[in-house]
Amino acid sequence: MINVRKDFPILTKMHNGHQLVYLDNAATTQKPYQVIHAMVDLLEHHNGNPHRGAHVLSIEASELYDNAREAVRRFINAKSSREVIFVRNSTEALNLVARSYGETHLKAGDKIVLPISEHHSNLVPWQRVCRVTGAKLEYMYLDDEGHFTDEDLAKIDDKTKIVAFAAVSNVLGMKHPIEKVIQKAHSVGAVVVLDGAQAAPHMKSDVQKWDCDFYVFSGHKMLGSAGTGVLYGKEALLNDMEPFLSGGDMIEYVQEQTTTFNELPFKFEAGTENVEGAVALHAAIDYLEDIGFDAIEQHEYELTKHCLEGMKKLPFIHLIGSSNPEEKVGVIAFTIDGVHPHDAATILDSYGIAIRSGHHCAQPLGAHLHCEASNRVSFYIYNTIEEVDYFLSKLPLVRKQMGFKD
């Protein structure tokens, strides 16, 4: 098991007389000293507006920003740094693709296909594309455990122009068959938009191996800072797209009535770049790669397996989706008989345990499963078996505090 807790200062926090047990990593992750110190070093010694000045601080900030982009390129195995666009988060990246590609390349009669389990950020933008273009949005409903079925894949047909799906479900924690779905989409000429928000922190990303057309992820879910995300796109597709935002470094030359745009990747990065976020993401990538994704996956597998085994012994717990830890990436959604998820999360918080409650930004999935809200625990590299046992020991107390006599 990985032992890195000493690197995370927030994990020493006490709450209500209890040691913090942070199990909400699918929402955001905590930051190690290495990431914090990288940001502080930038702000103390290298803070400048990148790509805009001839003085030393601007030059140093530019170098740090460009080095971060190259680190991301290596991290996802992109062909060129021109294919790596810095954005605020996965949500902005998906909206960029929907606006700059979807709304300009689709027409009435075309189809967009996505799973019912998608995060709203990979669903609502496609609803807009369909309203604007007259295209049709069609869903793959998956089986009861969250697997793609043959019937689902058959919906990807000659009318399909875009297939958008998460590599890992943020609700079910399911690892989806990335290459199988991409091959099916490409066989009918469709473009694939792959949401890696819950994948990039937990497993090796390889956009060339997968052959996805677009790939998005967020820095804050993988030890980086908030406000930083990445859009990868194949260079030919990005060159064929209009900028999403205008102003700042995305211009080449501006005249009174016309403007020409900068080359990739800068034409999609309007305004002053978030150097702090890029530096934090670079440090986070270095930290994760020092550990290695084989070790990360094994660590999360052991935590998930142990937690699932414990939850299955509690008759009042109902697991949502697959209970096979081989298929999951450190995310478990569940309900407790007779207890609203918000009440369960509040009671667990009183014991210092942080989990998620609600619809997890996936209301269509909840409606499909007839489960409007649930609880979710999600693990990362700093969580321990002891924390899982502590969490399991408090689940019966949730029912007890709500007046049940189990």
Alpha carbon of residue 199 to chain centroid: 6
Nearest Cα to 304, choosing from 165, 147, 175? 175
Average pLDDT value for residue range 21-46: 98
According to the model, what pLDDT value does residue 37 have? 98
pLDDT tens-digit map of 199-210: 999 999 999 999
Q: Tell how many helices (H) and how many strands (E) occur in the chain.
A: 14, 17
Q: Name, in order, each residue with C-beta under 8 angstroms of 287's C-beta and a sequence gap of 6 or more.
A: 7, 32, 34, 35, 223
pLDDT at 406 over 80: no
pLDDT at 52 over 90: no
Domain with residue 365: its CATH number is 3.90.1150.10
pLDDT tens-digit map of 288-314: 999 999 999 999 999 999 999 999 999
Share of the chain above pLDDT 70, in %: 100
Average pLDDT value for residue range 197-220: 98
Residues 372 and 247 in one domain: no
Of the three residues 262, 289, 316, the one that is the final residue of a domain is 289
Within a domain: residue 103?
A: yes
| Cα 219 to Cα 221: distance, rounded to the nearest angstrom | 5
Distances (CA, A) of 14 to 24, 59, 114, 378, 391: 16, 42, 42, 20, 16
Task: Count Cβ atoms within 10 A of the Cβ of residue 6 and give its class: 0-12 exposed, 13-18 middle, 19 or more buried.
Answer: exposed
Within a domain: residue 28?
A: no
According to the model, what pLDDT value does residue 29 have? 98
Of the three residues 264, 289, 314, the one that is the final residue of a domain is 289
pLDDT at 269 over 80: yes
pLDDT at 126 over 80: yes
pLDDT tens-digit map of 223-237: 999 999 999 999 999
Residues 312 and 270 in one domain: no
Average pLDDT value for residue range 105-128: 98
According to the model, what pLDDT value does residue 294 have? 98
Residues 302 and 204 in one domain: no
Within a domain: residue 30?
A: no
Q: For the chain, give the mean pLDDT.
A: 97
Residues 84 and 223 in one domain: yes
Within a domain: residue 174?
A: yes
- Among the residue ranges 32-46, 48-62, 112-126, 152-166, the one predicted with the least confidence is 48-62
Of the three residues 239, 263, 289, the one that is the final residue of a domain is 289
- Range list of β-strands (E), 188-228: 191-195, 214-218
According to the model, what pLDDT value does residue 272 have? 92
Within a domain: residue 348?
A: yes
Domain with residue 211: its CATH number is 3.40.640.10
Residues 261 and 360 in one domain: no
Point out which residues pair with 166 in neighbouring strands: 195
Residues 12 and 93 in one domain: no
User: What confidence category does residue 249 fall into, taking pLDDT thresholds of 50, 70 and 90?
Assistant: confident
pLDDT tens-digit map of 133-169: 999 999 999 998 999 999 999 999 999 999 999 999 9
Is 182 in contact with 211 (CB distance < 8 Å)?
yes
Query: Which domain range does residue 327 map to?
Result: 5-23+292-401
Residues 315 and 284 in one domain: no
Within a domain: residue 79?
A: yes
According to the model, what pLDDT value does residue 282 have? 98
pLDDT at 246 over 80: yes
Within a domain: residue 29?
A: no
Reading phi first (left if > 0) and then psi (alpha if -120 to 50, else beta), residue 390 is in alpha
Within a domain: residue 362?
A: yes
Distances (CA, A) of 213 to 161, 185, 193, 240: 12, 11, 6, 13
Domain count of the chain?
A: 2
Residues 281 and 332 in one domain: no
According to the model, what pLDDT value does residue 248 have? 85
Residues 124 and 241 in one domain: yes
Q: Name, in order, each residue with C-beta under 8 angstroms of 249's C-beta and a sequence gap of 6 or more.
A: 51, 52, 262, 266, 269, 270, 271, 273
User: What confidence category does residue 198 fall into, taking pLDDT thresholds of 50, 70 and 90?
Assistant: very high
Residues 126 and 240 in one domain: yes
Q: Give the residue carrying structure tokens 């990431």.
A: 35
Nearest Cα to 181, choosing from 136, 148, 214? 148
| Cα 285 to Cα 233: distance, rounded to the nearest angstrom | 19
Residues 194 and 311 in one domain: no
According to the model, what pLDDT value does residue 144 have? 87
361 is catalytic: yes
Structure tokens, 138: 């069609």
Catalytic entry in 130, 212, 307, 361 = 361
Q: Name, in order, each residue with C-beta under 8 angstroms of 329's C-beta and a sequence gap of 6 or more.
A: 168, 173, 174, 175, 198, 199, 202, 203, 297, 300, 304
Residues 69 and 189 in one domain: yes
According to the model, what pLDDT value does residue 293 have? 98
